[in-house]
Amino acid sequence: AQTVTQSQPEMSVQEAETVTLSCTYDTSESNYYLFWYKQPPSRQMILVIRQEAYKQQNATENRFSVNFQKAAKSFSLKISDSQLGDTAMYFCAFMINNAGNMLTFGGGTRLMVKP
């Protein structure tokens, strides 16, 4: 079975600064996807970024980037130039490539961006 661990239940960052959220996972699979989802206080879960395990290049999406360390089974999310709208719960998630449709989520990190 796969497990996803987010060791930081809560974090805060000043507006315009950079913050990194950590995520580790455990799997014996070699072909999988990793995701970061954001859940603002309004509760709509939104996909932030995805990473295919076979790709060595770290995914980036505007101010969001990941540091994917496959050997260490680590998948951290870096948010640059933090904005007040980044305040949300952030969930790391894992999906095996050939399973088609099963996501395993971490417990989440609550991020507060302070003005």
Partner 1 sequence: ETGVTQTPRHLVMGMTNKKSLKCEQHLGHNAMYWYKQSAKKPLELMFVYSLEERVENNSVPSRFSPECPNSSHLFLHLHTLQPEDSALYLCASSQVHHGLGYEQYFGPGTRLTVT
**Dist CA 43 CA 40 (whole Å):** 6
Count, residues near partner 1 per rule CB under 8 A: 25
Q: Is 10 helix (H, G, I), strand (E, B) or coil?
A: strand
**Shortest approach of partner 1 to residue 91 CB, angstroms?**
7
Interface with partner 1 includes 35 (CB under 8 A)? yes
Work out whether 95 is an interface residue with partner 1 (CB under 8 A). yes
Residue carrying the six token digits 């609550």: 110
Nearer to partner 1, 56 or 101 (CB): 101
Residues 3, 104 contacting (CB under 8 angstroms): yes
Judged by CB under 8 A, does residue 56 bind partner 1? no
**Position 99 contacts partner 1 (CB under 8 A):** yes
> CB of 101: closest distance to partner 1 in angstroms?
4
Asked if 77 interacts with partner 1 (CB under 8 A), we say no
The DSSP result for 21-89, as a single string, is: E--EEE-S-SSEEEEEEEE-TT---EEEEEEETT--SPPEETTEEEEEETTTTEEEEEE-S--GGG-EE
- Tokens 């939104």 -> residue: 46
User: Does residue 91 interact with partner 1 by CB under 8 A?
Assistant: yes
Residues that bind partner 1 (CB under 8 A): 4, 33, 35, 37, 42-47, 50, 91, 95, 97-108
